[in-house]
């Protein structure tokens, strides 16, 4: 079965600083990959999804971007963080073997 790694686990960044969150998947190939954000006490907001290398679909216009340089690597970036970017960032993977969206452990980002 697949394993999703996310790092860092926690991050505190000042407003206006850049961001790079990384997600890597093991144990599968050619997965669909997803970035979600969850504000404190709220639901899941889909930010980006990717069906393959270099293929990114954006769901919410904002100051974030995503890239998929390799089949099992998904990166979330920002050039300048806003206070509203604080939240729990979750990477998810879909595989036809397990036929479910499986979540990584998440990165908790606090923007001060």
- Please give the residues from 70 up to 99 whose contact with another protein meets the rule CB under 8 A: 90, 94, 96, 99
Q: Is 56 in the site for another protein (CB under 8 A)?
A: no
Phi, psi (deg, nearest 5) at residue 26: -120, 155
* C-alpha span between 38 and 106 (Å, rounded): 10
Q: Tokens for 10, please give them.
A: 């926690």
* C-alpha span between 34 and 29 (Å, rounded): 15
Out of 14, 29, 43, 54, name the contact with another protein by CB under 8 A: 43
Q: Is 63 in the site for another protein (CB under 8 A)?
A: no
Out of 22, 27, 44, 58, name the contact with another protein by CB under 8 A: 44
68: helix, strand or coil: strand
Q: Which residues bind another protein (CB under 8 A)?
A: 32, 34, 42-44, 46, 49, 59, 90, 94, 96, 99-106
């Amino acid at each position: 079965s697949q394993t999703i790694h996310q790092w860092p686990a926690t991050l505190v960044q000042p407003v206006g600083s850049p961001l790079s969150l990384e997600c890597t998947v093991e144990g599968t190939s050619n997965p669909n990959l997803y970035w979600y954000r969850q504000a404190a006490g709220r639901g899941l907001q889909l930010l980006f999804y990717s069906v393959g290398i270099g293929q990114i679909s954006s769901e919410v216009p904002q100051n974030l971007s995503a890239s998929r340089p390799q089949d099992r690597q998904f990166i979330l970036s920002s050039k300048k963080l806003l206070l509203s970017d604080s939240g729990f960032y979750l990477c998810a993977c879909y595989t036809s073997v397990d036929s479910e969206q499986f979540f990584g452990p998440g990165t908790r980002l606090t923007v001060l």
